[in-house]
Amino acid sequence: MTMPVVKGAAYILVHTPDMITHYGTTCTLEHETNPNSEFLKKVPEFVRSFEEVVKYAPNQAYIGSILPDELSNIPKPWYKNPIENAKAEGKMGELVTQEEFYLVMKQSDAFDLVMLEKGFLAAEKAKAAATRPFYTEAELAKLKEGYEAEEIEKKVQEGAEPLFSGGKLVGCVKAAHEKDKNLTAHIMVENLVVKASGIIALKNLIYRNNIPADSIEYVIECSEEACGDMNQRGGGNFAKAICEIAGATGATGSDTRGFCAAPTHALIQAAALVKSGVYKSVAIVAGGATAKLGMNARDHVNKGLPVLEDCLGGFAVLVTEDDGVSPVLRTDVVGRHTVGTGSSPQAVMESLITKPLDKVGLKITDVDKYSVEMQNPEITEPAGAGDVPLANFKMIAALGAKRGDIDKTAMPSFIKEHGMPGFAPTQGHIPSGVPFVGSAREMIMAGQIERAMIVGKGSLFLGRMTNQFDGVSIVMEKNHGKTEAAATVSKEEIKGMVAEAMKDFASFLLERK
């Protein structure tokens, strides 16, 4: 068996200002219940420009331009202290405009459901051809001419979901079936968004890590959405749909669902598949969720903050056989919240943190960095949810003090050294553990840290099938070079050994006579 390693990671954000009010649940529910509300009238005034989103420090940490720890050196509130020299492209990913994203949605459209206005489509195709290395001439050539504005307006009047750019109607998404509630125009928008953002994430992984696209053998898609029809709601398969457009023609794949914890489940599954030898190269991918756009917008607007949940999040991580260099995924250090664990914070943390460490004789202090629910506190605190990462780090520090791994007086320094500021968008599945995988890989390979623990936590009770909680964790650590495989014995050697054994046995029988 080979040790699985993290070969590369990519992170993308798609700025979708017009989608906030049309597809985020907070605003869409307000439209249904109180269409003339003051909140809906105010929202457009609090939506940021693409330039502001690029300069926002947590976004720069997410795409790998700065390490998460560097956020501690930037004064808060971060939205008032932009990084002036920031760029849309980072070491591990990029920020994408809403307009380019519509182009990828059309590229993702296998059933002619997306209609884009003729002039808009032509302009975006020309821009992509001139400035974007991700799109080949062949890919752009498949995007045929768009539609007249009048045709799009008519379809919207008939029930298609609109696509706006700067408040102007530039396209729409049609329903995929007249009667199937699982194929409505709204659900098709949600699914196409997941697919398109997943494609951008996987393309970033391939492009930025110089990975042959056809070398990826399996893909696990782990977002929070689910595609299917009335006969198999949530049947999938986003994974293969994403591979088809991203160029991973040598891959098969499937979808994994587990609310917020799904990406860490997927990371463990990928590691297991590679270690077992079933596949040599496994990617985990997740696109963004439109429902989470502007989720806390009411609190942000009421308190005079910009609507900070204005981006779709996506990521892709590649797990391969041991290359002797990339950080190893320790499949023997896996934490799991079992059915019998319970839901108390202490029980949850013990199952995810201390039990797997105890199994291999590690202390809490032996893990240099913990990545647990890395939500940006600037988003959650105004809504009354507090600083989620900090709360987790406090609990880990308390467990360390209780066990004697650290002195109680050392808890604040432990939190600062072994934790980090939250920096991920509140896209449900996106913050939980995986945003740090790329930075952890970079820090481990640079010798800054030896070991990191990636923790995914989830709320299964949201599906109303159980009141249970969920969570898993896995450790990443420095690669000390390929472990030499145990010496193997050739067929000829085996034949010789058998012949020798038979000869000895015959001699034994003769002696007994």
Q: Greatest CA separation found in the chain?
A: 106
Per-residue confidence in pLDDT tens, the chain, 513 aa: 789 999 999 999 999 999 999 999 999 999 999 999 999 999 999 999 999 999 999 999 999 999 999 999 999 999 999 999 999 999 999 999 999 999 999 999 999 999 999 999 999 999 999 998 888 888 998 898 999 999 999 999 999 999 999 999 999 999 999 999 999 999 999 999 999 999 999 999 999 999 999 999 999 999 999 899 999 999 999 999 999 999 999 999 999 999 999 999 999 999 999 999 999 999 999 999 999 999 999 999 999 999 999 999 999 999 999 999 999 999 999 999 999 998 888 999 999 999 999 999 999 999 999 999 999 999 999 999 999 999 999 999 999 999 999 999 999 999 999 999 999 999 989 998 999 999 999 999 999 999 999 999 999 999 999 999 899 999 999 999 975 444 445 556 655 665 665 566 555 445 554
Query: 3-state DSSP: the chain helix, strand, coil percent, rounded to 5?
Result: 45, 20, 35
Q: What angle do CA 95, 130, 134 make, to 5 degrees?
A: 50
Q: What is the pLDDT of residue 482?
A: 75
Q: How many angstroms separate the CA atoms of 78 and 57, rounded?
A: 6
Question: DSSP label at 48?
Answer: P
Rg of the chain over CA atoms, in angstroms? 25
Q: Is 167 left (phi over 0), alpha (psi -120 to 50) or beta?
A: left
Residue corresponding to tokens 């909680």: 469
Query: Residue 502: its pLDDT value, please?
Result: 57
pLDDT score at 484: 46
Cis upstream peptide for 356 (omega within 30°): no
Short-list 391, 321, 311, CA closest to 13:
311
* Long-range interactions of 478-482: CB distance < 8 A, separation 24+: 478/327, 478/328, 478/444, 478/450, 478/451, 479/3, 479/5, 479/322, 479/323, 479/324, 479/325, 479/326, 479/327, 479/328, 481/324, 482/322, 482/323, 482/324
Tokens representing 440?
Answer: 């952890």
Per the CB < 8 A criterion, the answer to whether 329 and 272 are in contact is: no
Catalogue the long-range contacts made by 77-81 (C-beta closer than 8 Å, 24 or more residues apart). 77/305, 77/378, 78/378, 79/48, 79/52, 79/305, 79/306, 79/308, 79/378, 81/57
CB 98 within 8 A of CB 19: yes
Amino acid making up residue 284: I
- Where b means 16+ CB within 10 Å and e means fewer, 298-320 reads bbbbeeebbbbbbbbbbbbbbbb
Identify the pLDDT of residue 495.
Answer: 58
Residue 485 confidence (pLDDT) = 44
Q: How many CA atoms lie within 13 A of 317 on its CB side?
A: 31
How far is CA 320 from its chain centroid? 18
Position 504 scores a pLDDT of: 60
236-to-194, 257, 291 alpha-carbon distances in Å: 12, 10, 19
Which tokens go with 313?
Answer: 């999040």
- Helix, strand or coil for residue 221? strand
What's the whole-model pTM score? 0.93
CATH value of 4-113+175-477 in 3.40.47, 3.40.30, 3.20.20, 4.10.860: 3.40.47
Which tokens sit at 425? 């968008």
Domain assignments of the chain as residue spans, ordered by start: 4-113+175-477
- Cβ-based burial of 162 (10 A; exposed 0-12, middle 13-18, buried ≥19): middle
**Pairing status of strand 168-173 against strand 218-221:** unpaired
